[in-house]
Amino acid sequence: MVERFFSTRQMEDRSHSHSHPIMLLSGPPSSGKTSLLFQYAYNSATQTSFSHQNVLFICNRRNLESNPPFLSQDVDPSSDTFQHIQMKYVEDDEGIKRYFAAFHLHNTLPSTIIIDDFGDFFDERSCQERYGNSRGRELAMVRTLALCHNAIIHANETRPCKLLLSDTHRGDSLRLLFIYKRWVSTIFTIKGDGSGSFILKSNSSSESKRTAKYTIALHYLCLEGITEDCEQ
Amino acid sequence: MGPCRLVADTVWKEIESTHSGQPSGRSIFQVVGESKRKEEYFCFPEHFCACYSFFYDIVSKGEQLCCKHQLAARLAASLRSCIEVEVSDEELAFLLSKL
């Protein structure tokens, strides 16, 4: 499934949306997460097994404009595919909650929803004030993830619908992984390889593990190779 | 009071209701706690409850699989012993946004 993040031959997506609809991409700062998400959005929008493959990309506008993503070299920025990717700019976690609270009101739903830098939407101070609790930020994330999960599972009753989140980890892993794991079935993790490239791995045990090596050093998202991970 | 008795009491004596939006069918449970304050907790039975026990014992410490409100809601749902409150999809969206 790591192939979904790159401009490479896409295999039929056999992942079961209805049972594993929420995924997380976790990586250190400046590791190309937004670029990977954009490529994932592009690949999802071009899938032709259903007539409409609309993608919703939720992010903070300022962050996106100050750190725009890098496309793969063979992706044409003027491609019609981008017509099927809708941008939604939100300021905070309340904006995300409002969207998923009203999810069932939409006549047409996107097939894929992407939220870039999910954790960044939860401001420590305002969450603490809202819940009157020093762990307010964690409380807020729990509630929002549960709401997202409920929305996505409900949507999957009628048609496939996936949610892909990204978050930044400092050090080896995401501090709040214990929260994400409650609602996220597949976690993709990025690690630097020490020489300017990154390795992307999935934690999924349901398929053969492939890892992808890529770089964004040349201001393009450049896949260097995909290898089978033989370790069990 | 043992856990089974606690759950049985919660199911039969307290008011549980499920708010389901029409026509979407999306729903959320509302479970009344057993303390004197009768707090109401919103709950997605399989994976979430708004009570503090869910956050501290289940998510944070991982000590239990689910809280008593989730258990009560699941039992009430399978026994069809809860009150189903139909609301419009717009009202449900408003309720959910306050989670």
Of A139, A157, A183, the CB nearest to B55: A139
Of B21, B59, B60, the CB nearest to A104: B21
Mutate to test the interface with A, among B18, B41, B58, B60 (most CBs of A within 10 A): B60
Please provide the size of chain B in residues.
Answer: 99
pLDDT at B13 over 70: no
Of B47, B50, B95, the CB nearest to A149: B47
Residue A50 maps to which CATH number?
A: 3.40.50.300
Chain segment B73-86, per-residue pLDDT in tens: 888 888 888 888 88
- Per the structure, the complete domain to which residue A16 belongs is given by 2-229
pLDDT at residue number B10: 53
The B residues from 3 to 32 touching A (CB cutoff 8 Å) are 21, 24-26, 28
The radius of gyration of chain B from alpha carbons, rounded to an integer in Å, stands at: 13
With beta carbons under 8 A apart, name residues in chain B contacting A150. Answer: 26, 28, 44, 48, 96
SS3 A112: strand
Residues A104, B50: C-beta atoms closer than 8 Å? no
Separate counts of helices (H) and strands (E) for chain A? 6, 9
Of A105, A147, A157, the CB nearest to B90: A105
Chain segment A68-116, per-residue pLDDT in tens: 999 999 899 898 899 999 999 999 999 999 999 999 999 889 999 999 9
Average pLDDT over all residues of chain B: 82
pLDDT at residue number A143: 97
Mutate to test the interface with A, among B24, B28, B69, B86 (most CBs of A within 10 A): B24
pLDDT at residue number A52: 57
In order of A138, A163, A219, A222, the CA distances from A226 in angstroms are 35, 24, 20, 12
Q: Is B88 on the interface with A (CB under 8 A)?
A: no
Other beta carbons less than 10 A from residue B9's beta carbon: 14
Give the count of domains, chain A.
Answer: 1
Q: Is B64 on the interface with A (CB under 8 A)?
A: no
SS3 B29: strand
Q: Is B57 on the interface with A (CB under 8 A)?
A: no
Residues B59, A178: C-beta atoms closer than 8 Å? yes
